Structure formats: structure tokens, C-alpha cells
Amino acid sequence: MKFGLLVFPGSNCDRDMADALEKDLGQQVILLWHKDKGLHPFSTDDCIVLPGGFSFGDYLRCGAIARFSPMMQSVIEFAGAGGKVLGVCNGFQVLCESGLLPGVLLRNAGQKFVCKNIFIKDNLEKNILKIPVAHGEGRYYANAETLHRLNMNNQVIYRYCDENGEVDTRSNPNGALENIAGICNENRNVFGMMPHPERACNPILGNIDGRQVFNKLFGI
């Protein structure tokens, strides 16, 4: 399995993601520049990753300009053909802006940047993971119809919780609706999440819970 890692001006977690995938998880990574176009080295068995950061300085809205990059047009086509796509933090924002995932990411409740370890719970298997967050606009929002559809289709893949797995407002770092920390599309090949699993893959960091995220989504 190959991973294409899309780099925008302002991406700052691309090398973190590359190190986690290559050095910690033993995967092949190819960096992709946003101005290029075409994903010819990749098949639908591979994955394209949109990393965290501040693409185009977060002007207009987070991810609003990145959505129009030439490479994003290729990513949209790749996802439409069944290829796997993962967006983390700013990457999640870009996926929502591009229409590959429903909803939007708003300013955090309290209007403050949040950077700390939090806990998330796998919506199906109920595993509790400690994963870092680092964002100022991570509050997931969608209308009632979209939320109903996400829940009915089991498209919510992670929710914020406490260390015991309790899901409530106290364990919600940004005010996201229904404590939503990550979702997927209806075809279950496009994934977006706010926490940074790539920052929890190396024993040196004292936490390898992020490996479980990549294993759940991609079997690695």
C-alpha cells in the first residue's frame, strides 16, 4: 500500500505524517505538491493523505483555498473511483470544503486554540485512545438532517470522550456537535478527523495509540 501525502503552502504536519507512516508503520510515502495534477502512481488500493497545518494561511476559511488546488481535483476524482483518502485536522477541513465529507469545521467554542492530549472512542469497537489535538477551528457542525444520516449510516468513526469512555461536554475540547471527532463518507473510503494520530505512533513520544487509528482505517 502506498500513501500519497499532499503538501500545500502552510502545511506543517506533512513531515510528521511522513515519518509516522514510513518509520513507525513501514509504509511507502510519496509527497505530492498541490500545484501538480494526476495520481498515476496510485491505485484505488492506495491512500492519499491531507495533513494538518494552515493551508494558504487559513485565509477566507480553513481549507477554502486549498480546495481549488489542481491536485485536489485529482483527489476528488480518486475518491470518486473508490480510492482511500484521509484528512487530518486542516486536511479534514479541506475535505469538508471540497464536498468529499459533509459538514463544516467552525471556530472552537471559547475562541481559543487547543493543544493537548485528549481521548477519543471508536464508535463501533469502543476502543479508547489517547491522541493529541492542535487546532483553533475544530468544532464539527452539520445540520440536523446530516447528523441523522451520519448516525444512521454509522459514519461517525470517533467521538471525544474521557479516559473512561464517557462522552459528555466536559470531554469535548472544541464544542463539536455530539462530540464528533472524526467521520467518513457513505462509501467508507474518505475519512476525516481532528486529532493527530501521527503524533502518537512512536514510543519515544510515550504514546503509540495513533497506530490503532491507521490499523482500523487501512489495516496497517
Q: What's the pLDDT at 60? A: 83
Which sequence positions are flagged as catalytic?
A: 89, 196, 198
Q: Which domain holds residue 81?
A: 2-218
Q: CATH number, domain at 98?
A: 3.40.50.880
Task: Give long-range contacts, CB 8 A cutoff, 24+ apart: 165-173.
Answer: 165/119, 165/121, 165/126, 165/128, 167/121, 171/118, 171/119, 173/108, 173/114, 173/116, 173/118, 173/133, 173/138
pLDDT tens digit sequence for 110-159: 899 999 999 999 988 889 999 999 999 999 999 999 999 999 999 999 99
- Note whether 89 and 134 are within 8 A (CB): yes
pLDDT of residue 123: 85
Q: How many domains are there within the chain?
A: 1
Place of cell 498541490: 34
Tell me the C-alpha distance between 71 and 9, whole Å: 13
- Tell me which residue of 188, 192, 212 sits closest to 92, measured CA to CA: 192
User: Can you give the pLDDT of all 220 residues of the chain as single tens digits?
Assistant: 999 999 999 999 999 999 999 999 999 999 999 999 999 999 999 999 999 999 998 888 899 999 999 999 999 999 999 999 999 999 999 999 999 999 999 999 989 999 999 999 998 888 999 999 999 999 999 999 999 999 999 999 999 999 999 999 999 999 999 999 999 999 999 999 999 999 999 999 999 999 999 999 999 9
SS3 189: coil
